[in-house]
Every structure is written in structure tokens, then in C-alpha cells.
Structure 1
């Protein structure tokens, strides 16, 4: 009986009645089809956002080539971390804010991102527990940061902003002349390996080898 209903009644409804409705009202059928497809796409995006957003800024365990987490290792979900791919995909403003958030995670005080033009080489400021002023310039370039940018940072970090700890961050590292210049002028450069360790949960001062009396 069920087979007879499927093969006769349901088959007839699909092949005759439904097709007759579509062929008799092509415009309405097209609008309904478009509306249904649009609804399904929006629903899929909403579900992706709801189930994906919660893991955006936290440690990832899996096959990510940038992950430092050992598969199966317990990860504290309350520790803010970023994958390198996430940092690379951010806007320049988002990258600066991520650095500010990581400073706050590490317990730095008065952390803020400097907005607007005329910042004179400072993107993020903060103070550590020894009340030293950190000045960060964040470069999200797709290629290594050159010596010219480091020289400009050297001219403003201490003289203009009074930085105790001047740090320039390069998502994809620095050229050799830039590294030599920074070493000669006692500037701190954070290249990709150091940024990766910081973004994945290690304290900034541990990564950079900076002593702190209260860390």
C-alpha cells in the first residue's frame, strides 16, 4: 500500500500537479525558488556565524600549520589566543586591537589603541607592573619591514612618546638592515616567530626576554 502510494499518488503530484503549477505560473515559481534559495543561504551564514564566532579568538587544537598546541593537549578556554592566519586576515585596525588585547591578557595596565592620523609612530600604549611605558608599532605587512620604518620609529618612540619599552611588531618579520639598525639603537623587534609564541599564549616579556620584578 505504501509503495503504491509512493509510486502513484506522490509520483503523480511531483510529475503532473507540481510541474503543471510551475509551467502555468513561471514568474511566481521563479520568485519562490529565488526566495527559498536566498533564505537557505542566509540561514547557513547565520549558523556558521553562531557556531564559528565563539572560537575565533581562542586557542585552536588541530591540524593548523600555525598552531603551537600539541594535539590532545588541554587548553584553557579562558586564555585569549590568536592563530597567525587570523592575525594575517585582520584589517590593520583589527591587528592593532588584537595586540592591545594580548597586552591586556598579560596583565598590562592602561592598555589602549591609539586612533587617527598623526599618531607619530605609536599604535598601542600600555604600562607594565613596574610602571614602564610600552609603545608598540604594529606592522601587518605581507613582506618584511624595512629599515626606513624602523628608523622612523626610533625617532619618535623615545624622544616624542617617552617610551621605556619601544616595540615594533612585524607580522612577517624584518629585513636584515632593519634588524641591525634596531640592535644598534636598542629597539625591540618582534618578528613572526616571537609574535606566534605571544599570540599562542606566552607572556610578552617571556617571549622577548624582558625582566620584570612582578611578572
Structure 2
């Protein structure tokens, strides 16, 4: 078994909603309402001609996305914030129906929300993209994949998530489905930010919860 396998990753996994005391509230001035639902795999039509085999080396396509989701209290109101990017690359190897190896990377600097000011703070002050331009998830145990069909199945995954240069072991369940183009994978990884040395902002007008999630949707093709 390979000593280190990277399957899916995300680049954010933090809610960066802080600013300096002067002008801090401006970061949130344009924010109204909650973020859209997390992206998930879809049930395929019954008459769909699905990819004939799951074994092989799969490539993460440019239609894939990854990012973060977190809850915050903004001026007394509960708000959900999500950041995402389509700058996701890598490969996934399936052998004998098992996840055998993978290497997937996300460009952290390209993660965006609905606020340019928040995104700038996220890149420079929280994730320090100059020093840590990417984030990764490394699978530490072989993932046993059930037979894949056009109906999503749930697969437990154990691995190491690296954010801002700090690595922690995490566990998650992902949804996997076979499609006409290949394989789709989606999931959400629970994250406690302080475990990665990241202090959630608490500036009075906004307080970010310490627990959030990394979320992703990968489209894989041979």
C-alpha cells in the first residue's frame, strides 16, 4: 500500500471574514443571505450509458470544485459563508475496485466568496498563500469502493488534511457515482479551525464559528 495518497482536497476550509477595526464592517457590507447549497453528485438517468469500467488512472477535470463552508454571526444575524474555486487538478487511481492512489491539488489563492475584501484577507492573513499556495488531503488507508452504478453510494475515507502548512488526521464520508463521462465524487469534511492553528475572527460585529467544513465536487475522466 502506498505510504501516502492524496484523493481530494480543498483549499479553504476556513471562513475568512475579518478585517481591521477601521473599515472592518465594510468587508460584509455587500453580503446578504446565505451561501448556496453544497455541490453534490447526482443520480444518473436510468437510460444513461455509464462508463464501462472504474479501474484505471482518472484525471480531475476543470469542471471540479473545492472550497469551504462556515457559519458566522454578522451584526446579530446567522449567516452561512462558502468559498469555492475550480482550480483543482490531479489524478485518482482505482485498482481492483479499490482506491489505490491519488494526488489532487487546489490553488488556495483562487478561492473566492461574495466579498473581494474577505477574499484578500483570506489569502494574505489567514492562509498565507505566499508560503502555502496549496492545500491537500492525503488518504492514509485504502478506500474499499462498492460496485459503482448510476446511483450514488457512500464511501468512508480516512486521511490527512493539510491547511496553511498544518496537517491533521480527519475522517469523512464521500458520495460516489458512475456517469457517462466517468466518475463523480462529492463530500464534506468537518473541520475545527483551531486544530490547524487558525483562530476564527471575533470582532464584535462578526463572530465566526470555530467549526466548519471542507467541501468538494470532483469530476473524474479516464
Q: TM-score, normalised by structure 2?
A: 0.26
Instruction: Determine which structure has the larger helix proportion and give its number.
Output: 1
Higher relative contact order (CA 8 A, sep 6+): 2
Q: Which has the larger radius of gyration?
A: 1
Q: TM-score, normalised by structure 1?
A: 0.26
